Amino acid sequence: MTDFNTIRQYNFPTVIRFGAGAIKELPDHLKKAGFTRPLIVTDPNVRDLGFFKDILKSLEQKSIAAEVFSGIHKNPVKSDVLAGGEAFISTGRDAIIGIGGGAAMDVARAIALRINHHRDLFDYDDLIGGDQYVTEDVPYFITVPTTSGTGSEVGRSAIISEDDTHRKRILFSPKLLAKIVFADPLLSMDLPPFITAATGMDALTHNMEAYIAKGFHPMAEGIALEGMALINQSIEKAVNKPDLESRSKMMIASLMGAVAFQKGLGVVHSLAHPLSQLIDTHHGLANAVNLPYGMQFNYAGQEAQFRRMCRSMELSGESGETMVNYLFDLNRSLGLPTKLRDIGVKEEHIETLSDLAFADFCHPNNPKPVSRENFKQLYMAAL
């Protein structure tokens, strides 16, 4: 068994310092790199937690004057980024540290883009070729994950919504990779069960959808299979009776999922995104509820891939039915709902949700085509 008390380093391509206590290296790293005035971007919940206050204290002890920006929504919007950019400039910051889950990472990464790129923020939307405008350097950027879901600590993109319509935009560039990640599983030990479960199912969705996505990326497929195996080994314990091993495996698997979905995502994310857009559903929870239905839709024609996923997770069978039943049972064991009605979706939402899902950017990489009528049928089945 791996000793997760030992701090190790690996690169893919970001430098990753992984292990219990890795966060203690942050102050000396900043000092050695010559940065003493970082902007720390986090969410309002993390800002009030004990470990976050300990991080600030450790920085202060090394004469590092951090400024904290926590004015972000759970589904981040453009105004969050603009306010964070203003905080960076007005307080004379010299680096950016994202601490938290996907929302904090996305806003931190978008702020890093914003500092030296002054077009309208959504001119940089990758879906309209905006990456061509990312030409300048960005501030020194560090990530510190505190959840095991999005894996945004190793990402190159930020998903930011429009304030009024809540339409999601993707800001992307290799320049937005963190210079270093401090992945300390101890920072996730005090997460409540619901957040652990929802973010963990987000990580599982990333790995599963990446594996069966129609793009060609053999390395991503291998990473995704191992990510699924780690999640199957650890998610229930991480939620119900967490220890260092289960939290460590979940953090590793989350990171792996973010690497794997370079290959693409699919129908589940296109079902989930509109729920965040329309009724502000937590992204991981939206994925969790829709995952069994999306996998059931994808099974026909992907039998070989499903067999390999079942084997990777050591399930009792190798069919689509085995996988779908496993996912329903897993949600129940984690205390998560299995129906959309349980998270506030009503029948009158279905038409709008179907329109938004069909317009989403993820399902073109799904292994089989998804029509608007397919989305409506999937929402009705999950309702």
C-alpha 261/C-alpha 121 separation (Å) is 24
Condensed to tens digits (0 to 9), the pLDDT of residues 13-70 reads 899 999 999 999 999 999 999 999 999 999 998 999 999 999 999 999 999 999 999 9
Condensed to tens digits (0 to 9), the pLDDT of residues 150-184 reads 899 999 999 999 999 888 899 999 999 999 999 99
Q: Are the beta carbons of 264 and 215 closer than 8 angstroms? A: yes
Q: Domain locations in the chain?
A: 8-187, 192-382
Instruction: Please report how many Cα atoms fall inside a 13 Å half-sphere around the Cα of residue 145, on the Cβ side.
Output: 32
Label residue 39 left, alpha or beta by phi (over 0 means left) and psi (-120 to 50 means alpha): beta
pLDDT at position 12 is 85
C-alpha 40/C-alpha 34 separation (Å) is 16
Sign of the C-alpha dihedral computed for residues 150, 94, 182 and 45 taken in this order: negative
pLDDT at position 142 is 98
pLDDT at position 293 is 98
**How much of the chain, in percent, has pLDDT values that exceed 90?**
92
Condensed to tens digits (0 to 9), the pLDDT of residues 271-313 reads 999 999 899 899 999 999 999 999 999 999 999 999 999 999 9
Which CATH architecture does the domain made up of 8-187 adopt?
3-Layer(aba) Sandwich (3.40)
pLDDT at position 190 is 85
Task: For residues 88-93, give the mean pLDDT.
Answer: 97
pLDDT band of residue 77 (cuts 50, 70, 90) is very high
Q: Are the beta carbons of 238 and 251 closer than 8 angstroms? A: no
Dihedral pair phi/psi, residue 176, rounded to 5°: -90, 5
Burial of residue 371, with CB atoms counted within 10 A of its CB: 0-12 exposed, 13-18 middle, 19 or more buried: exposed
C-alpha 7/C-alpha 183 separation (Å) is 9
Sheet-wide strand order for 67-69:
8-11, 15-18, 180-183, 140-145, 95-100, 38-41, 67-69
Rg, the chain, Cα only? 20
pLDDT at position 364 is 96
For residue 257, the 8-state DSSP code is H
| Alpha-helical segments (H) within the chain | 26-33, 44-47, 50-61, 78-90, 102-116, 193-212, 218-240, 244-260, 267-279, 283-298, 303-312, 320-333, 350-359, 372-382
Same topology, domains 8-187 and 192-382? Answer is: no
pLDDT at position 13 is 81
> To which residue do tokens 């910051």 refer?
93
Q: Are strands 8-11 and 15-18 parallel, antiparallel or unpaired?
A: antiparallel
C-alpha 204/C-alpha 306 separation (Å) is 14
Sign of the C-alpha dihedral computed for residues 55, 152, 225 and 284 taken in this order: positive
Residue 87 above 90 pLDDT?
yes
Q: Is the pTM of this model over 0.75?
A: yes
Q: What angle do CA 224, 228, 231 make, to 5 degrees?
A: 135
Task: For residues 352-371, give the mean pLDDT.
Answer: 96
pLDDT at position 202 is 97
> Taking the C-alpha atoms of 371, 376, 377 and 378 in order, what is their torsion angle to the nearest 10 degrees?
90
Q: Are the beta carbons of 78 and 122 closer than 8 angstroms? A: yes
Which CATH superfamily, name and number, covers 192-382? Dehydroquinate synthase-like - alpha domain (1.20.1090.10)
Instruction: Find, among 78, 77, 71, 16, the residue nearest to 47 by Cα.
Output: 71
Q: Are the beta carbons of 40 and 100 closer than 8 angstroms? A: no
pLDDT at position 1 is 58
